[in-house]
A and B are shown apart, each in its own frame.
Chain A
């Protein structure tokens, strides 16, 4: 065994020693996972599949669109803008005419002014029970961050909330060192218009106000919590919205819990009650309104809405239209792809389209001719 002058093979003692200490091999373990060779599904978008997928989506979506649109159109919805009209009506009772916004604001803010009025709603189509009664307010930012967080969950659960905890309710957190229950701007701005309904023949239409709030919202409130120190109940304080009875538990006031669940947008409806009888075409509904809530300061409108529901809910054409549009679009795309492919078919795995083959062709014949000419056939 001869050794040449090179030293590449001489190993320093330390390296040998290291090898001896560590006799186990460093060879990686073979598993399909460690070698990245796992069984895999490699879905391939072939032209046929592309067309099929678009077609399928279209075929599924169009019926859904039609069904939901039909459901939406089956809903009967009546809307009455009563806010301004009702106020003008009330003002007429005391011989005032309200021309400007300022006049309206001052009129509604004055507790001594009469606020009631009667509105007539004509039923044009059969409305099957249950008919849902909503009030709608616009331009009211119930979703304003300051507003949304201005309530105290622990307090409503009946816990002794500390002044620190109530700080989020400021400035409606405490009066004279006593906590306000329920605290916060949401409760303080509680909507307090009221409606009573009767048919034109004089029969009153009862409105069921039970079960209009979410059960979960009610569950959040302890039945031992009573309104206390509530600003709106104190005539000398700065009054926002409605009063709250001090002798019944807050939990029983479903209107409050409907109000306390903040609306997502500045235009919103709130459920006020259910009419549990059918209304027929020709019926005229007399609505007596206590129109006390101030929407004029923020240029809002107040509406009363009567609506039936379908299996999808209220009158909303959007989902149906969207389904229909996308379904039609997909069908159009499927057809488009089909015809484009039909006129310029490309065999799968067409080797001519490899970049290495293509470049030459681009140079030699220009790009157009790379596609087989079967159009005329």
Chain B
């Protein structure tokens, strides 16, 4: 729309449904409530200074999404840290360590705590800083503000105030919620892209009030004044109630006039608007939820284990203290060598209770090894390293966008392995949001050799090479064309290597480069292309510099038609007020411009499912061109028009299977008189004002759209991102449920459902919606409460009916799919209905929610998360997915696209949806098993170690004496046992990444939580208790009383402690070696190195000055090393300790192997090479029962073929119901009440779609 040269009054051209609909009583009624509660906002236009005073002091436009600021950081972050029970416990221990009761030095307890808390806080600070930088970038964006005197100056966004007049230019974001006053177009319309709000990329038309659109120059605002009264800030994106007092009149305002922050002005040079809501009061910010701090399931369970261990700790401490107090009171007076009469309060027989209490504190610190702070350090470290591996995975790197995968938070790695439900956005996530004209059927001949993603995926599944698929389709086409009569001698030409044209991917020599003229049905082809070039509502835009034409259409589908027509020689050049100029090849092939006068435009709506134009060409012939859903067109074909029907129908079915969006193309030549007669009826209907206008228009259109002649059909691919069908297929096979939550319209969503194989022929679709004539009637007339009540009743009965239907359909194997729209969700997500909805949804194989707002996405996520108690993953690319991403247990953002909001809010970011497979099935699986094993092992090793302390204490009358040197204890978790457990957490692999992908069923070990069950945890703990018993009593029995060397020497605390410690180090390291199934040199170095390090340590530490080494002084080199007893016991104890584990493992491996054990065995025997058939067969079987993904579709269609019920689907919802009663069955067929008819899209959307 360059320079406004080509000013077309859109409002005169088309009757935009919705924009110019007469005001409904509902709106009238709503505007009356302005000023009441919830509607108290007053905005003085152009007088922002008025808002400096009470009560109009609204929030500034400065937006902050940070959690902390400089002042609040320290207290708030510290508070966050010490909300963790474990940290609180460690803090307490550290404080107590400063008192003399502590058995250890204070530094050894405080240093690790400072480290752990410090690292976590640094992480928080860094994340918040990133948010701050991003906020700053947004707050400092520039916009033109009216500064008085008709002058506009650039100011930063944060300086925008309520009441300001702003001028926003093309391709800029709106700085706040604006009331649109006027635009550069004379009739005050503008295009808005709401990508960041609802994910839709269709342009939306906004229209200013008739009274204000004349204000189209800067100077006009010098004197502009007005007063807006409207609703208070709220989060509803699609509603607005208010009025404008301007020029003495009170003008009602609706959502049509509101431009929301974060949406973008498109195709419109500039607009003027008044700021109504700013900053955090804008609708988009109201939709934002606070970034939550997420913790994984395993970690939450770990908390419970910690509570359990804390109870154990408390128990043994109390037992110890009671025993200590008792012995101090009754026995100690006899122990003269302790001088009981001259003692301190810590050992005072006269104050045994006090001594006992003090001992309790000592004991809590002493046995604190049961709850190791090093566990947190190790887990943090392991997760960071795991995250690095995720970041470094070359197979999740996307070359086109140069984006690797990124783990943005590292504390959810293991949650990736436990996901049950994936909630996915559609546009930009599953699809590239790119429509490509890929195939067509003209006059019964199929054209187009392009292969869709879905076909490729299916072919690969069947073991074919997708490249051969193209050839196959050619031969097939050849055959079909030879059936058609001739054309078998089509010249094969190399594919034109032209640069790819966006929206067009029809590869067929028979049509390209004018070759169509030599086709047998050239005239039909000419008509087909002409219809594509004429029958639409797109607007051409000429680039002045290059002269190239681009098209602006309401929907990408339509744009692809126009582009396809152009590529095949019918170039749509210009649209005038009532004519369309097309450059098309003349009869002799020479291009010429032809003008088509548009007499009428019969617009699209969801009930009609078709659109038509009536044109008069240069020869004066009147033609009705019509495109629409095949079932609708079929009903309207004339007797002669069905010539190609059967062939076309077969093609349509094929296209539907390939996941394409199809439309039938037809026309009819009208007699002048017939047209005149009809036009009168139509004009009358059009000028009617009132609620029956739509009905009259429909009826009038019906009169003329008949006796059509079918030319052919189009197939447009809503281009899925590369690899999406395979990815969905494998995710489904891994037992993951995939829900689609999209801001798009119902049909679009359903189409994509088919394309992704989330829906398929044969599924019972349960459609819950409110777009029924009855509801509409109530909406027209009823008041607000009445509407809400009717809607609620309707939704309730629909959901009930759905549940009922599923119950009835049990004997039938066909799965169900739930399709529900945002409006219905508004009621369905209310407290009473929520559970019913969830029940219905979880029984359905697929769930698709369309037209949902960002907040609803988050609410659904929450419902699934809390209702099912299972882990959810939200994946999306836009700002509208932020709520969902934050609410889900794991949020995944698609990186490398416009806008970083989704990525910023996410926990993981990947460049393509397809990487989700590897992220979950490989990394998730590994991380889950690693962390699960690591945690249980960690508890095992600390129980083993901690309880030996306890037993020894029991032998010292619980006086607080340890068998070990202080440094042994403090270094146990640092040096001698940490590296192996880290190696376990970072490197362990049960099976290789390839096998993970080959056997998706292995993933279910995570969601079923097979490796972190209580029995497993307690089993490991019991193992720890057993090991501690063996390590302690075997060592003491060996070193007890008699000489342990041949030189008659006896063992004291020092020797016993060092020997026992040696045993414990061996035990825990041998145990980890047994638990591992994957040894690289790293594991070997870490495990055996840790043991070697102990010997090295005890030698080196034992050789330094005895003041420092105390009890370790020469303990090894002088006493232990020469003792055969010592060496025998270090062999005996580890073997005895791991014996039960070995028996358990041996038994399990031998008789009840788990899946990954069997796979390991197959690989060990090389059976996957020697018996590839068996291997392949098992791989096919290793899937969860699923109804999602193309594999299940292939299977289902094979079953269907068997029963000879080949069903013609076109991939569209609408084409299906009539042919086969059972497919798809709507809820309304079960209910008498015709209230429910979900099969209709909202009729008042602006976008055009068929």
- Show the binding face of A for B, using Cβ within 8 Å: 1-12, 14-15, 19, 25-30, 34-47, 50, 53-54, 57, 61, 64, 68, 77, 130, 132, 134, 136, 140-141, 143-148, 153-154, 157, 170-172, 185, 188-189, 214-216, 219-220, 238, 240-241, 261-271, 274, 294, 297-299, 307, 309-316, 318-319, 322-323, 326, 329-330, 333, 337, 340-341, 344, 346, 348-351, 353-357
Contact A35 B392 (CB under 8 A): yes
Which 4 residue pairs of A and B lie closest in terms of their CB atoms, listed nearest first?
Answer: A314-B1042, A4-B559, A314-B1043, A132-B1048
Give Cα distance in the complex from A318 to B1128, angstroms: 12
CB closest residue in chain A, given B1004 = A355
Please name all residues of chain A whose beta carbon is closer than 8 Å to the beta carbon of B961 when the two chains form the complex: 143-145, 148
Contact A147 B1160 (CB under 8 A): no
Give Cα distance in the complex from A47 to B1165, angstroms: 13
Contact B1106 A7 (CB under 8 A): no
Which B residues from 1174 to 1188 make CB contacts under 8 A with A?
1174, 1178, 1181-1183
Give Cα distance in the complex from A41 to B1076, angstroms: 11
Contact A4 B503 (CB under 8 A): yes
Give Cα distance in the complex from A354 to B1039, angstroms: 49
Contact B1046 A313 (CB under 8 A): yes
Q: Is B236 an interface residue (CB 8 A)?
A: no
Contact B1052 A4 (CB under 8 A): no
Give Cα distance in the complex from A53 to B548, angstroms: 79
Please name all residues of chain B whose beta carbon is closer than 8 Å to the beta carbon of A43 when the two chains form the complex: 1077, 1079
Please name all residues of chain A whose beta carbon is closer than 8 Å to the beta carbon of B556 when the two chains form the complex: 4-6
CB closest residue in chain A, given B1005 = A355
Within the complex, what minimum Cβ distance (angstroms) separates B538 from chain A?
A: 8
Binary per-residue interface labels of chain B (1036-1066) against chain A in the complex, 1 for a CB within 8 Å, 0 otherwise:
1111111111111111111111000000000
- Show the binding face of B for A, using Cβ within 8 Å: 137, 171, 193, 195, 201-203, 264, 266-267, 331, 334-339, 342-344, 346-347, 389, 391-395, 397, 399, 402-404, 427-428, 432-435, 499, 501-504, 548-556, 559-560, 562-563, 566, 897-898, 955-957, 959-961, 963, 987, 989, 992-993, 1001, 1034, 1036-1057, 1077-1080, 1082, 1106-1107, 1110, 1113-1114, 1118-1119, 1123-1125, 1128-1129, 1132, 1135-1136, 1139, 1142-1143, 1145-1147, 1149-1155, 1158-1162, 1164-1165, 1167, 1174, 1178, 1181-1183
Contact A318 B1037 (CB under 8 A): yes
Contact B337 A271 (CB under 8 A): no
Contact A267 B1150 (CB under 8 A): no
Contact A53:B1142 (CB < 8 A) given known A310-B1046, A313-B1046: yes
Within the complex, what minimum Cβ distance (angstroms) separates A8 from chain B?
A: 4
Please name all residues of chain A whose beta carbon is closer than 8 Å to the beta carbon of B1162 when the two chains form the complex: 348-349, 351
Give Cα distance in the complex from A132 to B1139, angstroms: 37
Contact A356 B1183 (CB under 8 A): yes
Please name all residues of chain B whose beta carbon is closer than 8 Å to the beta carbon of A216 when the two chains form the complex: 1106, 1113-1114, 1118-1119
Our pick among A57, A146, A274, A330 for the contact of B343 (Cβ within 8 Å) is A146
Please name all residues of chain B whose beta carbon is closer than 8 Å to the beta carbon of A240 when the two chains form the complex: 336-337, 339
Contact B1053 A143 (CB under 8 A): yes
Please name all residues of chain B whose beta carbon is closer than 8 Å to the beta carbon of A26 when the two chains form the complex: 397, 402-404
Please name all residues of chain A whose beta carbon is closer than 8 Å to the beta carbon of B336 when the two chains form the complex: 189, 240, 294, 297-298
Contact A268 B1041 (CB under 8 A): yes
Please name all residues of chain B whose beta carbon is closer than 8 Å to the beta carbon of A148 when the two chains form the complex: 961, 1053
Please name all residues of chain B whose beta carbon is closer than 8 Å to the beta carbon of A297 when the two chains form the complex: 334-336
Please name all residues of chain A whose beta carbon is closer than 8 Å to the beta carbon of B1183 when the two chains form the complex: 356
Give Cα distance in the complex from A132 to B548, angstroms: 109
Contact B1001 A355 (CB under 8 A): yes
Please name all residues of chain B whose beta carbon is closer than 8 Å to the beta carbon of A146 when the two chains form the complex: 338, 343, 346-347, 959
Contact A313 B959 (CB under 8 A): no
- Most B-side CB within 10 Å, residue of A19, A28, A357: A28
Contact A42:B549 (CB < 8 A) given known A8-B433, A264-B1053: no
Contact A45 B1145 (CB under 8 A): yes
A/B interface sample: 5 pairs, CB < 8 A = A9-B434, A40-B1079, A189-B336, A313-B1044, A322-B1132
Give Cα distance in the complex from A5 to B192, angstroms: 11
Contact B552 A350 (CB under 8 A): no
Contact A8:B428 (CB < 8 A) given known A27-B397, A136-B1041, A313-B1123: yes
Contact A326 B1142 (CB under 8 A): no
Contact A351 B1158 (CB under 8 A): yes
CB closest residue in chain B, given A357 = B1181
Give Cα distance in the complex from A64 to B1127, angstroms: 12
Extra contacts, 5 of them, besides A170-B344, A264-B1056, A297-B334 (Cβ < 8 A), are A35-B395, A46-B1164, A157-B1106, A265-B1036, A326-B1136
Within the complex, what minimum Cβ distance (angstroms) separates A227 from chain B?
A: 18
Contact A311:B397 (CB < 8 A) given known A2-B503, A26-B403, A42-B1079: no
Within the complex, what minimum Cβ distance (angstroms) separates A36 from chain B?
A: 6
Please name all residues of chain A whose beta carbon is closer than 8 Å to the beta carbon of B433 when the two chains form the complex: 6, 8
CB closest residue in chain B, given A320 = B1128
Give Cα distance in the complex from A54 to B1149, angstroms: 14
CB closest residue in chain B, given A11 = B898
Contact A144:B1042 (CB < 8 A) given known A25-B402, A26-B402, A349-B1167: no
Our pick among B504, B1053, B1160 for the contact of A262 (Cβ within 8 Å) is B1053
Contact A271:B1050 (CB < 8 A) given known A2-B549, A144-B959, A171-B342: yes
Please name all residues of chain A whose beta carbon is closer than 8 Å to the beta carbon of B402 when the two chains form the complex: 19, 25-27
Our pick among B1046, B1048, B1150 for the contact of A50 (Cβ within 8 Å) is B1150
Our pick among A2, A28, A298, A341 for the contact of B397 (Cβ within 8 Å) is A28
Within the complex, what minimum Cβ distance (angstroms) separates B133 from chain A?
A: 13
Contact B1053 A348 (CB under 8 A): no
CB closest residue in chain A, given B1160 = A44
CB closest residue in chain B, given A326 = B1136
- Most A-side CB within 10 Å, residue of B553, B1046, B1145, B1178: B1046
Please name all residues of chain B whose beta carbon is closer than 8 Å to the beta carbon of A9 when the two chains form the complex: 434, 502
Contact A36 B993 (CB under 8 A): yes
Please name all residues of chain A whose beta carbon is closer than 8 Å to the beta carbon of B502 when the two chains form the complex: 1-4, 9
Please name all residues of chain A whose beta carbon is closer than 8 Å to the beta carbon of B1124 when the two chains form the complex: 311-313
Contact A8 B898 (CB under 8 A): yes
Please name all residues of chain A whose beta carbon is closer than 8 Å to the beta carbon of B1145 when the two chains form the complex: 45
Contact A316 B897 (CB under 8 A): no
Give Cα distance in the complex from A271 to B1149, angstroms: 52
CB closest residue in chain A, given B1034 = A322
Give Cα distance in the complex from A297 to B1128, angstroms: 39
Please name all residues of chain A whose beta carbon is closer than 8 Å to the beta carbon of B1051 when the two chains form the complex: 264
Give Cα distance in the complex from A29 to B389, angstroms: 11
